[in-house]
Structure 1
Amino acid sequence: MNIYLSGQGAFAVTLAEALAEEHKIVGVAAPRQRKRLGSAPSADDDADPMTWDRLRAWAFPRGIDWTPAPDLRAHHVPDGTDVILAAHSHAFIGRKTRARARVAALGYHPSLLPLHRGRDAIRWTVRDGDRVTGGSVYHLTERTDAGPIAAQEHVLVPPGSTADSLWREHLAPLGVRLVLRVLDDLARGYRVEVEQDESLACWEPAMGVAPLFKPELTELPVPGSGEIRGDRWALNGF
C-alpha cells in the first residue's frame, strides 16, 4: 500500500524502514529542528542537514517528499495514498487531510486507550505507578487520541522502569509490530474499528510545556446534541 508518514525521531525512522519492506512511502511530514538551543525552528534551517529531523534525513536520499509536520495540509498528501500514518507525531491531522487517505488514517499511541490520552502518556504511566500499560493503533478523528481502536496489546511495566526505558525497550517495538499488523489486515480487506469506552477515558496535559486549551480536541459531545460538554472532569479522570 501507499503510505504517507507523519512523525519524528528514531521511532518514525524505524517504522519507515519496516514499512518500506512491503509498502511504498509516498511522502513524510516531520518537524523543523532548531539550529541552537533556545532558537525557534526556521525555514532557514532547511539548508542545513544537521538540523533536520531523523525522518527527513531518512527520506531525503530516497527522493521522498517532505513537508514540515505542523504545516501538513491536504494538498501535501499525493493522489493514490492509501494510509496516512501518525508515528510519534504531535501535529494534529485535520479532516480534509485525513480524507486524502483512500483506506485509513491511523495513529499509534503508547497507552491502553482510552487511558492516558495526551502527548506524555508514558511519563504519566510511570508517574502514576501503573503496573500494566500497552500500545494502541487507532483511527484518527477530530478528537485527540479518541478514535476507534484498530489494534491494542498490553505490556507489564518492569520494576524500576523510566519513561525512556519503557518506550525504548517495550512500547516503541510494540508500536512497530501493531502498525504492521493493522496494515496487513487492511491490505487483506479486514478492517477493525472498536469504539473507545469514554467512561474510562482520561487525558493528561503535557509535562514541561504551557497548557494548550483546545476543548474541541479533548472534551466529549453531549449525547445526541453534537455540542461540547462543559464538564471536563469525567474526561480527565478526576
Structure 2
Amino acid sequence: MKLIVHGQQAFGKAVLESLLERGEDVCAVYCAPDKGRRIDPLKALAEEQGLPLFQPPSYKDAAVLEQMRSLNADLCVMAYVTLLVPEQVLNVPELGSIQYHPSLLPLHKGPSSINWPIIFGETKTGLSIFWPDEGLDTGPILLQKEVEIVPDDTLGSLYFNHLFPMGVAAMVEGVDLVRDGKAPRIEQDPSGGSYEGWCTADDVRIDWHQDVDRVYNMIRGANPQPGAWTTLAGKRVTLLDCSKSNDSDGAPGTVTAADASGI
C-alpha cells in the first residue's frame, strides 16, 4: 500500500519514522512551508531518507491536486495538519485520508484541544483517528483511545507522556485497519460535540477572584503554552506551575512568600 505522509514537526516525524521502520511504502511527504531558520523535523527526515517532498503554500491550487494524483497513492496519513485541506485533495488517494486529532471527537474540536479539557477541569480526554472532510474535525471516526487527566497533569505532560506516543501508535493502527479493510466510519454526533478556538494569552490571564480550582486548572492547562499570567508590581509574570495550599491567610493573588523555588 502506497502512503503519503502529510504533517509537520516532531509528531509528523515520529509517525513517518514508525511507518518506515515497518517497511511501509511511503511515496511522498507533504509538510508546511518553511518558517524561519529551523528546519521542520518531518522535512529533515524526508530529505534524509530521500523521499519526494512537497511544501505547497495552498492546497487549493489545481497544480497541487494534479501533482498528488500523479503519485497514485492508496492512503494519506495526516499527522499534525493544522490547515483545512479541500475534500477533493483528501479524496485523491484510492482509500482516502486519515487524520490524528488529540481529543475524543466530537468533543473539543479545534486547534487547542489539549489545553481546554485541563482548563475546564475534566478528568478524561483522548485521541481520535478520523476520516477528515471539509469541515473542522468533523469527519467520521476510525478509532479512539481514552486518556485519564490526573490532578497534576499539564498540557506538556498530557501530550508528551500520553497523547503523542499513543497518537503515533494509533496512526499506525489506523493504517493497518485500512489495509485490512476493517476501518470503520462512525459518524460523529453533532449534538454532543464542542468547539474551542486557539487558547491564547488573553484567555489565560488569571482572575484571582475565581476559586482556587479554576486558577489551578488554568495554570496547568496553559503550561507550557501560552502560559497563564498575572501582573506583579505592574510587570507581567508567567506562572507555569503551582500547587494548592490551605496554609495562607492572605487575599487571593497576594504574594506571602518568595524564595528560590518560587512565590
Question: Which TM-score bucket, shorter chain as reference?
Answer: 0.7 to 0.9
Structure with greater Cα Rg: 2
**1:17-32 → structure 2 map (5 Å cutoff):** 17-20=17-20, 21-32=22-33
Give CA-to-partner distance per residue, 1:30-53, whole Å, 9 cap, x none. Answer: 123433xxxxxxxxxxxxxx5321
Counterpart position of 1:52:
39
CA–CA distance in 1 between the matches of 2:82 and 2:199? Answer: 14
The 1:80–1:150 alpha-carbon spacing in structure 2 relative to 1, beyond 3 Å, is: same
**1:220-231 → structure 2 map (5 Å cutoff):** none
Give CA-to-partner distance per residue, 1:95-140, whole Å, 9 cap, x none. Answer: 2211211012111000000000001100112111110000100001
Contact 1:70–1:92, Cα closer than 8 Å, also in 2: no
Gaps of 5+ in 1: 36-49, 211-238
For residue 164 of structure 2, give the secondary structure of its aligned residue in structure 1.
helix
1:148 aligns with 2:140: yes
Counterpart position of 2:78:
86
CA–CA distance in 2 between the matches of 1:123 and 1:135? Answer: 13
1:208 aligns with 2:208: no
Letter in 1 for 2:76: I
CA–CA distance in 2 between the matches of 1:209 and 1:24? Answer: 42
Q: List 4+ stretches of structure 1 deviating above 4 A.
A: none
What percent of counterpart residues are identical? 28
Contact 1:135–1:175, Cα closer than 8 Å, also in 2: yes
TM-score normalized by the length of structure 2: 0.70
Contact 2:143–2:174, Cα closer than 8 Å, also in 1: yes
Q: How many residues were matched structurally?
A: 196
CA–CA distance in 2 between the matches of 1:69 and 1:87? Answer: 16
CA–CA distance in 2 between the matches of 1:28 and 1:79? Answer: 11
1:8 aligns with 2:8: yes
1:63 aligns with 2:55: no
1:104 aligns with 2:105: no
For residue 114 of structure 2, give the secondary structure of its aligned residue in structure 1.
helix
For residue 158 of structure 1, give the secondary structure of its aligned residue in structure 2.
coil
Gaps of 5+ in 2: 203-263
Contact 2:27–2:71, Cα closer than 8 Å, also in 1: no
1:74 aligns with 2:68: no
TM-score normalized by the length of structure 1: 0.77
For residue 121 of structure 1, give the secondary structure of its aligned residue in structure 2.
coil
Q: Superposition RMSD on alpha carbons, in Å?
A: 1.8
Counterpart position of 1:214:
none
Contact 1:107–1:140, Cα closer than 8 Å, also in 2: yes
Question: 1:190: how far off?
Answer: 1.5
Give CA-to-partner distance per residue, 1:140-184, whole Å, 9 cap, x none. Answer: 111010100000111111221111111110001111121111211
CA–CA distance in 2 between the matches of 1:8 and 1:88? Answer: 6
